[in-house]
Structure 1
Amino acid sequence: MAAWLAAVYVLCHWVALALWPAHAQGVSFAFLVIAPLLAALACAWRMRRSEARVGWLALAVGLLLWAGGMALNMYQDLVGGTPDATPGLSMLLYVLYGVPLTFAMAHPRHEPWYLILIDGALALLLGYLFFVHTFSFASVGDAPDAGVASLRRMFDIENLFIAVFALVRYLASEDAARRAFFRALALFAWVYLLMAAYINHVATEASYGGAADLLIDLPFLLLAVVALRERPERDATTPRRLALAVRAGSPLILPAALLVVSALMVDAHPHLAVVGFALATLGSGLRGVVMQVRAMERQDQLDVLARVDGLTGVANRRQFDQVLQAEWSRARRSGQSMALLMVDIDHFKQFNDRFGHPLGDACLRAVATALAGCASRSTDVVARYGGEEFAVVVPGTSREGVLALAETMRRAVAQLRLVAADPQQQIGVTISVGVARVGQIASIDAGPLLAATDAALYEAKRHGRNRVVEGHVGPVPLA
């Protein structure tokens, strides 16, 4: 339906020119102002239904700027009394329409507000440079032929810039919503590029009100049709490395645009061009620093996740293995002792079967918290060994000290009370603890200590549970 309406719009434009040749210019201006407004409305409608809201909003703003430029052209020709003049303010709005589009291409998804603020500042600076550059060649009311030629060159660069980068963003997009947006933007940008090139370089002598005006309708009506058609995007087949490279490089689009415009201004405004070069570099650098800090923060979070058990918050099995080997090697070099505790929650399977997994998870968290609270020394490490089993590495302690710690942990867990579905029902939990200690370490392998601790835990469970049993490390082969 949208495509048929677009065709009817172009047909009505042609019929109006044919029926009212004496008023062709005014009629054509009306169609040329309404076409981008319709496209802007379609983009605003799509914005409310898409996750790529920033992109559709920026595109709608750009289209409103373009419509404003055409409206100023209409005023100049029909009311201002200077037909076929090229008002500089109108030219400025035509140029500024590309600033929101450039911002949309440079804006990665899910960015925090301060990065959006940096991009917004660069976009505003780009708009200001466009403003200065435009009025270097034009006045508010008119532009000489030489100025128009320079502005056409700037239009060509801007249009090609937008078309190329919109296509790149589309080809490298993995997210369906953003892929749909960049598809619409790329189609519009390439059709607009061809239309503008024809109007600016071929039909240069044609006045508004002729058949060439029908071409100007096309990119805007095409965009409106694409925006209104919510066609599902196919799964992207973009190589992952290319997608990541484009996503990482997209913030450079705004600084690149600033550098291009600054280069165009070197002759007319050298000092402002230097400012543009400097701010483009500083903005890109500042954004890079912020992104690097965020990457480091995410890496820190990943490091924590790699070392911490997600359910209980204590060290995971991988971290336990590393700590055990590191403390074993340190004790072997220093001649200190080392002890290990293995802790198992008594009858945990029956607990889960009776009260359900949510309360079972709560039990694991409560036991882990109790064990960690008893391990007061910074060198003691509590880890989830697997399932309902925990392990505690206790370096540099006496036999009495480690046994006292094990008994403290057992009592702390025995005092826990978990609340079931019935608030009146409080459930107790107990643990069995196996303990083993090595006074003088001569081997490079901590396996005998693990075996002795595990055997002690087995004995504690075999003799009734809810108790601490000490194991003994057998003969350890010398390193």
Structure 2
Amino acid sequence: MSASAPETAAEHGAIIAGRADAVAARLALALPLVFLPAHAAVALTASNPIGAATLLCETLAAFIAALACGWRAQGSGNRERLGWLVIAVAMLCWSAGVGWQLLGALTPAGASGTGAISMLLFVLYGVPLVFLLASPNGDPWPARMVDAALALVLGLLFGAFIFSFVQLSGVSDAAGELTLSLMFDIQNIFIALFALIRYRASTNEQEQRFFGALSAFAGAYMLGAGYYNHFVEEQAGALVSLIVGAPFILLAVLALRRPGRTRALPKRGMFARVVHTGSPLILPVSMLILSAALVPSRPALAIAGCVAATLGYGLRAMLVQLHGMGERDRLAQLSQIDALTGLPNRRQFDEALRRELMRARRSGQGLALLMIDIDHFKLLNDTLGHQAGDERLRDVAGILQSCAARATDVIARYGGEEFAAILPGASPAEAMAVAEAMRAAVEERALASPGPGERVTVSIGAARLTEIEADTGQRLMERADAALYDSKRAGRNRVTAAWPVGEAARSVSA
């Protein structure tokens, strides 16, 4: 019963998640069928198309979108979760901005400062979205923190530019109102355009769905807000508020819908790489443009914006480069390590042998090589299975590594059940002592094996340089291999040494 409990809990969790998705899917169908007609009814019966009733509907629409995005974040992976949460924050800012307008509409004389606060919240609405577009998911988190800080500074610069001609009571003249509308048009076009670019450059289906939802919302909002900002006073139709609120319901529907079937995405190659690499430039370039616009009215702030853009992007580039160097070092290390045993692999062994040969020639000292083979390993694999064989390989690797007393000794997995040990500067006696210690340690560990003696043993062949100036790694390995085969022919579980003429005689120990 205890073994099946985790499976039952997992199945129960999957059932709950499936039910939640089903409820969300039904809610996604109900929202446009219920909320939009209700919003339209309010707009048709309201005496003022931009009065309190319609502002309340717009506030609720953005708040519903925020809730839907927050719900989607809970059922998403780590990278996608952050994106949905950031969109939810943007929706809350927009909802609060309209909420302040609603407060002003409900106050007989209009609450002091509500127009300026609404403008500030509308500016802050764009900050999280710009961060999403400019900060690729795969970048290291310190770089993304810099992106977040730059996005916030960009929002503050944008706000400073707007408040250079917007008073606490609102926009005082037609020219200022037109400039304000154009500024928000630029922000909306910017978000919609780059959301579409990120959608087209998506490298996986989850990312494509996410940016597809964002680009659909941003495009609809851009059109609706543009119409509202430029034509509502000239053609104050009753349903104009619905045009602004509908994109938020669209976003809520896209966030609540069930994910479709998984399908392969076409490879986008260079385009995706260019977008990924170039997206972080959005923030500093935008900051430099806004800083230039602020020079006539606020030169000190403009200089600060330029400095922040330059230093911020420089810091980000440094963090990404450091992360990339770390990843390259990690991959280089992994490419030289045997994944099963954790020992150096054949590639690193070959490099170490070449390096130690050159060092031996410079110093005139000797170089010993041990070739080590697990006895009857094929029988062990066939009888106990490959999983047991892998465990024995790991055990033997650990034993051999523990017998290498000097920091310069290199113990590597040469291939299959065969290991190798490079012993720089070792004399014949020292090399034999290490080899015998390895053989005895493996035997004493008494690892279960179907072979003779019912325990794992190793055979070892030892060789040293014959002529330091002329010898090659290949010749050294051939002599060590020959000594290893002599150990096996002599009955296994022994050390055989092939020493050069003039050194200690060929020796065998069992």
Partner of 1:279: 308
- Residue 31 of structure 1 aligns to which amino acid in structure 2? C
Deviation at 1:427, TM superposition (A): 7.3
Partner of 2:125: 97
Counterpart of 1:315 in 2: which secondary structure?
Answer: coil
- Equivalent of 2:252, from 224, 234, 240? 224
- 1:378 is aligned to 2:407: yes
Partner of 2:7: none
Name the stretch that deviates more: 123-132 or 337-346: 123-132
In 1, Cα distance between equivalents of 2:447 and 2:176: 81
Deviation at 1:449, TM superposition (A): 2.1
Counterpart of 1:97 in 2: which secondary structure?
Answer: helix
- 1:176 is aligned to 2:202: no
1:196-211 aligned within 5 A: 196-206=225-235, 210-211=238-239
Give TM-score scaled by structure 2 length. Answer: 0.83
Counterpart of 2:195 in 1: which secondary structure?
Answer: helix
In 2, Cα distance between equivalents of 1:268 and 1:177: 44
Partner of 2:134: 106
In 1, Cα distance between equivalents of 2:258 and 2:471: 65
Deviation at 1:391, TM superposition (A): 1.0
Contact 2:100 2:114 in 1 (8 A): no
Partner of 2:75: 49
- Equivalent of 2:145, from 111, 117, 121? 117
In 2, Cα distance between equivalents of 1:81 and 1:390: 88
Name the stretch that deviates more: 64-73 or 251-260: 251-260
RMSD (Å), alpha carbons? 2.8
Counterpart of 1:150 in 2: which secondary structure?
Answer: helix
- 1:150 is aligned to 2:176: no
**Cα distance change, pair 336–26 in 1 and its aligned pair in 2 (3 A):** closer
Q: CA deviation digits over 1:90-111, x for unaligned, max 9? A: 1222222111111222333266
- 1:38 is aligned to 2:38: no
Partner of 1:394: 423
Deviation at 1:437, TM superposition (A): 1.9
Counterpart of 1:310 in 2: which secondary structure?
Answer: coil
1:43-442 aligned within 5 A: 43-51=69-77, 52-81=80-109, 87-109=115-137, 113-145=141-173, 146-206=175-235, 210-232=238-260, 234-332=263-361, 335-418=364-447, 428-442=455-469
Name the stretch that deviates more: 275-284 or 237-246: 237-246
- Residue 409 of structure 2 aligns to which amino acid in structure 1? D
Contact 2:43 2:242 in 1 (8 A): no
Contact 1:13 1:31 in 2 (8 A): yes
**Cα distance change, pair 236–263 in 1 and its aligned pair in 2 (3 A):** farther
Q: Which runs of 5+ in 2 are unaligned?
A: 1-25, 502-510
- Residue 287 of structure 2 aligns to which amino acid in structure 1? L
Q: CA deviation digits over 1:390-411, x for unaligned, max 9? A: 1112333333332232222222
Deviation at 1:439, TM superposition (A): 2.9
- Residue 198 of structure 2 aligns to which amino acid in structure 1? R
Counterpart of 1:382 in 2: which secondary structure?
Answer: strand
Deviation at 1:81, TM superposition (A): 2.7
Deviation at 1:166, TM superposition (A): 0.9
Contact 1:344 1:388 in 2 (8 A): yes
Q: CA deviation digits over 1:179-228, x for unaligned, max 9? A: 21111111111111122222223334355x73322211221122122112
- Residue 369 of structure 2 aligns to which amino acid in structure 1? L
In 2, Cα distance between equivalents of 1:341 and 1:332: 19
Name the stretch that deviates more: 372-381 or 174-183: 372-381
In 2, Cα distance between equivalents of 1:378 and 1:275: 54
Deviation at 1:113, TM superposition (A): 4.9
Name the stretch that deviates more: 289-298 or 257-266: 257-266
Give TM-score scaled by structure 1 length. Answer: 0.88
- Residue 252 of structure 1 aligns to which amino acid in structure 2? L
Counterpart of 2:170 in 1: which secondary structure?
Answer: coil
In 2, Cα distance between equivalents of 1:158 and 1:238: 30
Contact 2:43 2:241 in 1 (8 A): no
Counterpart of 1:297 in 2: which secondary structure?
Answer: helix
Name the stretch that deviates more: 222-231 or 246-255: 246-255
Contact 1:340 1:391 in 2 (8 A): yes
Q: Which runs of 5+ in 1 are unaligned?
A: 421-425, 475-479
In 2, Cα distance between equivalents of 1:359 and 1:141: 78
Deviation at 1:271, TM superposition (A): 0.8
- Residue 140 of structure 1 aligns to which amino acid in structure 2? L
Deviation at 1:465, TM superposition (A): 0.9
Q: CA deviation digits over 1:134-156, x for unaligned, max 9? A: 32222222211233222222212
In 2, Cα distance between equivalents of 1:202 and 1:92: 22
Q: Indicate the percent of aligned positions where both proteins have the same amino acid.
A: 45
Name the stretch that deviates more: 23-32 or 140-149: 23-32
Q: CA deviation digits over 1:163-186, x for unaligned, max 9? A: 121111111112332221111111
Deviation at 1:354, TM superposition (A): 4.3
In 2, Cα distance between equivalents of 1:122 and 1:93: 18
In 1, Cα distance between equivalents of 2:108 and 2:267: 52
In 1, Cα distance between equivalents of 2:433 and 2:106: 97
Deviation at 1:238, TM superposition (A): 3.8
Q: How many residues align?
A: 467
Name the stretch that deviates more: 93-102 or 426-435: 426-435
Name the stretch that deviates more: 58-67 or 347-356: 347-356
Counterpart of 2:463 in 1: which secondary structure?
Answer: strand
Q: CA deviation digits over 1:46-104, x for unaligned, max 9? A: 11122211111111111121122222222323424359x98222122222211111122
In 1, Cα distance between equivalents of 2:179 and 2:301: 18
- Residue 196 of structure 1 aligns to which amino acid in structure 2? A
Name the stretch that deviates more: 350-359 or 67-76: 350-359
In 1, Cα distance between equivalents of 2:448 and 2:125: 63
**Cα distance change, pair 270–463 in 1 and its aligned pair in 2 (3 A):** same
**Cα distance change, pair 138–206 in 1 and its aligned pair in 2 (3 A):** farther
**Cα distance change, pair 444–263 in 1 and its aligned pair in 2 (3 A):** farther
Q: CA deviation digits over 1:267-294, x for unaligned, max 9? A: 2211111111111221221122112111
Partner of 1:470: 497
